[in-house]
A and B are shown apart, each in its own frame.
Chain A
């Protein structure tokens, strides 16, 4: 079976889903189900000590069914990200981490030097590191070479829904790295996810595209199908692109032709 292998785990689903920005907890649960995901990201934040009773929808997530992947969203330095990863490991009992080290509030693009520094430190400390990266092949290769369990280049800025902005870079990244390549961020609709898979990605991580769709549960289902279709198309080996036509019907036996013309 065509499974996704990351570190020592195997997943049947190539869709990783975020848990935020859903209109309500039930829609979150139904969307996760419809998407068929097995790996869900969460963030790490201060407990609201004034109202510690506030219910988190995460309490509703069945950890026997879904693996939880904490992220370091909101971190701007390696130091913050490393501490957040340690806190996440302690709180959730997992040494897997989606590493985000952000450089800019508007674009949410990664701060590459800080990302590389944090990744190296966390790998050394025994974490399974899945770094959210830009789509620069050199950065992605460095992350892969240093021992990240996957590399997760963005398709477009987080939450932007712009799709795959630089398919050519993704193709180059696919050529350069052997570790799993997960397109993370910027997916807007099903075709974006399919394109990512057709380019050779091993998986797609998305959140806003489903959570903020008019009908999240249906969009989750669409994403599931798109990722399956894109993966099949990739494995099927597409025809090349040509500038000119090649007729798909035979040229022999055309009516009204005379061989003496």
Chain B
């Protein structure tokens, strides 16, 4: 199914959980300090495994960077 992840269209398997998607990009150990919003709403880390992604979901996967 089609998702928009950080502004880019990607194709993924259906019935993917948010946690599974994140692990496709990031190693399990590197999930600290990351936050995710789906369709404009933050999904807390504790809910990542329960949240099933739907077609056309827009994801923002963010972290802190240097800033003023």
Contact = CB atoms under 8 A, between A and B. Distances in A.
Interface of A: 18-22, 28, 41-47, 49, 52-53, 56-58, 68, 70-71, 73, 79, 83, 86-92, 158-159, 207-208
- Counting chain B residues whose Cβ lies within 8 A of the other chain, the interface size class is 20 to 34
Interface string B26-65: 1000100111110010101100000000000000111111
Given A49-B6, A208-B68, A87 B60 contact: yes
B64 A90 contact: no
Nearest to A69: B67
B16 to A, nearest CB: 15
Contacts of B66: 18-22, 28, 42-43, 56-58
Contacts of B64: 42-44, 56, 58, 68, 70, 88, 91-92
A20 B62 contact: no
Contacts, number: 102
A45 B63 contact: yes
5 closest cross-chain pairs (CB), A and B: A43-B67, A18-B68, A207-B68, A91-B35, A90-B35
Contacts of B62: 44-47, 87, 91
Given A52-B30, A87-B37, A47 B63 contact: yes
9 contacts: A42-B64, A44-B64, A47-B34, A52-B25, A52-B26, A56-B64, A73-B67, A86-B42, A90-B45
